[in-house]
Structure 1
Amino acid sequence: MKKILIITYYWPPSGGAGVQRWLKFTKYLPGFGVQPVVLTVDPAQASYPQRDESLLHEVSPQTEVHRTPTFELYNLYLRLTGKKEIPYGGFANEGKETFLQRLAKMVRGNFFIPDPRKGWNRYAFRKAAELIRKHGIDTVVTTSPPHSTQLIGLRLKRKLGVRWVADMRDPWTDIYYYRQLYHSALARKIDRNLELKVLQQADQLVVVSNDVKRIFSEKGGAAVQQKIQVIPNGYDEEDFEQEAPGGTDKFVITYTGTIAASYRLDGFLAALASLPAKLQEKTVLRFVGKIPPLILEQVRQAVPHVEIDLTGYVDHRKSVAYLLQASVQLLIIPQVKNNLGIVPGKFFEYLASGKPVLALGPKGSDLAKLIGETGCGALFEYDDSDAIAHFLREGLDGKLTGGKRETARHYSRKALTQRMSELMNSK
């Protein structure tokens, strides 16, 4: 089989949505004639925002995995701020910004370009070059964030002449929390130049949504646009073969993952509060993951008659079990610039669960189109509380469905891996 080298910072035992994409691609690629060799960071030295040891069991014994040391600049952030946790994307696990946090973000934005995990690059490059020579590998995939990983691919392309595929799960200098890093004009210029070099010099670019393709195409012009393929995230059918947990007579609205101030809840909460008290008392609002104290207080004050269930962070299998137990699944796109292309990876697991999706976000977004295509629920503008309340009443009356199963199968990890394998085998 054709061997390819996959360079990824996030790999089990890292948790969170980012690790799922290439964990699942490597699972299914051998079935399409491609043998992945994975290069990642030593987990004992890595700075993962979340860990999920259970995902180690999903790595195929046939997948060759190599780990290298790293120099973690995020350790300096922890020392400077006194925090015990690495910040999540968008700083969703951080409370009200303190002076020290602001200072740390300024240091990160102006001195650690493109990001603090670039301390891994020199170790990863050295090992990647060794593996390329050992296995005769001619195709390398770098996946980000962290976008510093793309600079490893850039250097390998220049030094060894390999074919380089840059898989970019998120925008780079247009990511919604970019302005929170207080870049100077010089730092922004340096970062944008690095971004443009990656866009121009990669042989192939892969993104997860059409609007992210638009963002990168506008930066690089027609030459870049022509080499971008959209291969979205998806769901693994095998993850949903577990039995659903025991039923409940409650109406359970489930939200999984992180949440921050930009994930506007006020319209949804107003809709929930407008329901008759007896319906509110029948409802459970479940947060699977971390919720900042200020947002939790907002929720409790807005809907005091609704039961709030906080599970904390759970492993992936347990997260899927909560989806299977849900009556309705809540999904929120942050209200930020360039949010039309944000399609959270969890959407596809929501889709696979067969439970209706209540999404909040901009009309005309890639997510709105996917929901319309699959018929799995509805997307509402953040303030459309009347329409949201109507949707909730429909759910409480048992009138909602989870979408078109045949359409949903287009987003299975196996189907998407076939598309990725065609890209790997193309010239």
Structure 2
Amino acid sequence: MRILVISESINVEDSSASKGRVALINNLLLAGYNLKVLHYSHKEIQLQGIDCELIRENKFSAYFFLSRMIRLFQRTFKMNINATLETWFGFSFTHTNDTRSIAKAIKQAQNFAPDLILTLSKGGSFRPHRAMLRLPELQSKWMAYIHDPYPFHFYPRPFNFVELSYKHKEAFMRQITEKAQYLSFPSLLLKEWMESYFPAVADKSCVIPHQIKVDNEPQTTPAFFTENQFSLLHAGNLLQQRNPDYLIKGLLQFLNKHPEAAMETKLYFVGSYKKQEHILNQYQNHPNIVVSDYIEYKLVQSLEKKAAVNIILEAISEISPFLPGKFPNCVASNKPILVLGPYYSEVRRLLGKDYPYWSEANDVAAIEANITKLYQQWKQQPEQSQLNRPDLTHYCDEKSLKKVIDDLSIA
């Protein structure tokens, strides 16, 4: 099968979303598919063994000119008028110029003769998807990968908010769900969540979870990390909705009750924490808490493998339909995962209702109890301090990916 992948970015350093898209592309290659990748990364990037082509921005269009005029106006007068313009046009002029540039590149790549065209995006952009809506002649081959709820007013609390252009955005996603031949989602709960808003999702969807990234590069360890300790690692951006305060209080309660653990216990926060710096700055000098800003992705992977415990911290909510991008890395590290999130969540669904190290994100007593159990297991039986879930490893590997795609019976 020949698959043309249209990815908004394949630069793994620009976002967690791009890391996930690259892992998916690499596993499509491992699954044996013939790939061509068009990407809008704004820089030349090559993935080993894959034909990758940078899509160039069209700088000679009216939309490009208008987008630069708006940018100059906003910079000069310190006014953000894009949101107002989007209530009229649906999207910014920059977004429109980008999607037209991508659509042109897709048309020019049809000499590749793909059997499937897969669109991948990041954040709330969906530029490749909007580009495919301009190409009805190719939509019978189109699989739209929908990585998050959309639009923002369809997010679960506390992430949801209403954009001024919400009607345009809702109509846009409805078009995607109706025009694409196939829809894919990284989680079953997200598929069901979107189906509740867009009925067309029901009959054309599959689940393609975030993929385990196979990386044989030599691993190095950042200087701030101490090996062979009871290290609890939260890797990834601390969004405004991911409150680390209860986790920290649970750790401090654990240390209070088990002072003998203080010399060998550290909680690491690695990644952007600007939205939570008012909390983390209070602990910058605490001997058991280490805070680091963004580091290279390969260093994060090294830490995930060397930590005693990996942490998945989600928002305080009734439900979390998201599969965190780092979930497959945590599974591959084969270390226990401390899960802090809603009762109804994709992570808890996959780990199972009997998974012992789960609690609500704001349950300090339960967090402290789980840290205690993890510490005792690490201390007394370190060889058994493992996740040991080959079923989840298989769920996120190229063999399962191939089965999902082959079951679509694409001609």
- TM-score (structure 1 length as normaliser): 0.79
Task: Judge which range, 249-258 or 162-171, deviates more.
Answer: 249-258
Task: Judge which range, 365-374 or 262-271, deviates more.
Answer: 365-374
Provide the C-alpha distance between the structure 2 equivalents of 1:248 and 1:198, rounded to a whole number of angstroms. Answer: 47
Correspondences of 1:131-142 after superposition (within 5 Å)? 131-132=109-110, 134-142=111-119
User: In the alignment, which residue of structure 1 is the partner of 2:282?
Assistant: 301
User: In the alignment, which residue of structure 2 is the partner of 1:387?
Assistant: 366
The one of 85, 106, 114 equivalent to 1:128 is 106
Contact 2:243/2:276 (8 A) holds in 1: no
Provide the C-alpha distance between the structure 2 equivalents of 1:374 and 1:33, rounded to a whole number of angstroms. Answer: 36
Note if 1:284 corresponds to 2:284. Answer: no
Q: Do the aligned partners of residues 211 and 62 (structure 1) sit closer, same or farther apart at CA in structure 2, a change above 3 Å counting?
A: closer
Shift, 1:229, TM fit: 0.6
Shift, 1:270, TM fit: 1.9
Provide the C-alpha distance between the structure 1 equivalents of 2:73 and 2:155, rounded to a whole number of angstroms. Answer: 26
- 5+ unaligned residues in a row in structure 2: which ranges? 379-383
SS in 1 for 2:321: coil
Provide the C-alpha distance between the structure 2 equivalents of 1:114 and 1:420, rounded to a whole number of angstroms. Answer: 33
Provide the C-alpha distance between the structure 1 equivalents of 2:10 and 2:173, rounded to a whole number of angstroms. Answer: 23
Contact 1:142/1:165 (8 A) holds in 2: yes
Shift, 1:153, TM fit: 1.7
User: In the alignment, which residue of structure 1 is the partner of 2:51?
Assistant: 63
Correspondences of 1:62-211 after superposition (within 5 Å)? 62-69=50-57, 80=74, 103=80, 106-107=83-84, 110=87, 113=90, 117-132=95-110, 134-145=111-122, 146-156=125-135, 158-160=136-138, 162-173=140-151, 174-175=154-155, 179-180=160-161, 183-184=163-164, 187-211=165-189
Q: Do the aligned partners of residues 78 and 211 (structure 1) sit closer, same or farther apart at CA in structure 2, a change above 3 Å counting?
A: farther
The one of 196, 209, 233 equivalent to 1:232 is 209
SS in 2 for 1:318: helix
The two structures, once aligned, show a CA RMSD in angstroms of 3.4
Equivalent position amino acid for 1:356 in 2: P
Task: Judge which range, 114-123 or 143-152, deviates more.
Answer: 114-123
User: In the alignment, which residue of structure 1 is the partner of 2:375?
Assistant: 396
Equivalent position amino acid for 1:318 in 2: L
- 5+ unaligned residues in a row in structure 1: which ranges? 45-52, 83-99
Shift, 1:179, TM fit: 4.7
- TM-score (structure 2 length as normaliser): 0.81
Provide the C-alpha distance between the structure 2 equivalents of 1:244 and 1:42, rounded to a whole number of angstroms. Answer: 27
SS in 2 for 1:398: helix
1:315-354, Cα deviation, whole Å (9 max, x unpaired): 22111111122122121112357x4211101011111111
Identity of aligned residues (%): 19
Equivalent position amino acid for 1:213 in 2: K
User: In the alignment, which residue of structure 2 is the partner of 1:87?
Assistant: none
Provide the C-alpha distance between the structure 1 equivalents of 2:72 and 2:377, rounded to a whole number of angstroms. Answer: 48
The one of 287, 305, 309 equivalent to 1:328 is 309
Shift, 1:155, TM fit: 2.0
Provide the C-alpha distance between the structure 2 equivalents of 1:380 and 1:205, rounded to a whole number of angstroms. Answer: 32
Equivalent position amino acid for 2:201 in 1: V
1:18-68, Cα deviation, whole Å (9 max, x unpaired): 123442333343454421111112524xxxxxxxx9xx56x1244243422
Note if 1:318 corresponds to 2:296. Answer: no
SS in 1 for 2:254: coil
User: In the alignment, which residue of structure 1 is the partner of 2:34?
Assistant: 35
Note if 1:269 corresponds to 2:248. Answer: yes
SS in 2 for 1:397: helix
1:126-177, Cα deviation, whole Å (9 max, x unpaired): 1111111x22334211123322321112222x14454111111111112468
